[in-house]
A and B are shown apart, each in its own frame.
Chain A
Amino acid sequence: GESVGLHLPTLSVQEGDNSIINCAYSNSASDYFIWYKQESGKGPQFIIDIRSNMDKRQGQRVTVLLNKTVKHLSLQIAATQPGDSAVYFCAERAGGTSYGKLTFGQGTILTVHP
């Protein structure tokens, strides 16, 4: 079925370490993927996105990797900071859909220790 799920519900890291948050998806027709960050008491905020015709995309301190062979998506955060502590969601959009009809994963709680 169509689902987006996360391997690990929680991740704890030390400040300065690199973080990797993983996501599995099952809909091979998905053509677009996006990562959101949600801090306590706030709505989700866009981090980075990637289209299915790419396998890697870099932003500021973040990198998204897409492996279509195994239907796996990951978010890498370099030099993680306490301000990165939040819940991270991956989301996918099925190919052929317009507007933002996204299917979200459950989320991973990232905790960064000083």
Chain B
Amino acid sequence: ETGVTQTPRHLVMGMTNKKSLKCEQHLGHNAMYWYKQSAKKPLELMFVYSLEERVENNSVPSRFSPECPNSSHLFLHLHTLQPEDSALYLCASSPAASGRTGELFFGEGSRLTVL
């Protein structure tokens, strides 16, 4: 157990659906992240929230909409996705927004398939 829980673990959706991925961390961390992991590609940083404020948005299409209601929870709202958005979406947290190290604590991911 890493202390970062993601739900659902698997999600299949059509291109016209609206769904959300949820992440919860039990580590008391102040920063939370969404990464995308596609086959044969390095992990891609999507969004970073520090103290509930979005501090990083890596040119992610608007069909992905993050939400961070508090420092323990992070959502990724999905709508009108494309098949190429099928991937493993990883949530992570870190101890502090300006931590001395870059260690991230990852959840086990949500496997998304867009039909």
Contacts and interface: CB of A to CB of B under 8 A. Distances in A.
Given A43-B4, A44-B90, A99-B31, A106 B42 contact: yes
B12 interface: no
Interface string B88-104: 00101010111101111
A41 B48 CA distance: 23
Interface of A: 4, 32, 34, 36, 41-46, 49, 89, 91, 93, 98-107
19 contacts: A32-B101, A34-B103, A42-B108, A43-B4, A43-B107, A44-B43, A46-B103, A46-B105, A89-B42, A89-B43, A98-B50, A98-B97, A99-B48, A99-B50, A99-B94, A100-B48, A100-B102, A100-B104, A101-B56
Contacts of B48: 99-101
Interface residues of B, number: 29
A107 B40 CA distance: 9
A106 B41 contact: yes
Contacts of B34: none
Contacts of B75: none
A102 B106 CA distance: 13
A35 B109 CA distance: 18
Contact of B45 (A34, A101, A106): A101
A41 B108 CA distance: 7
Contacts of A101: 45, 48, 56, 102
A48 to B, nearest CB: 10
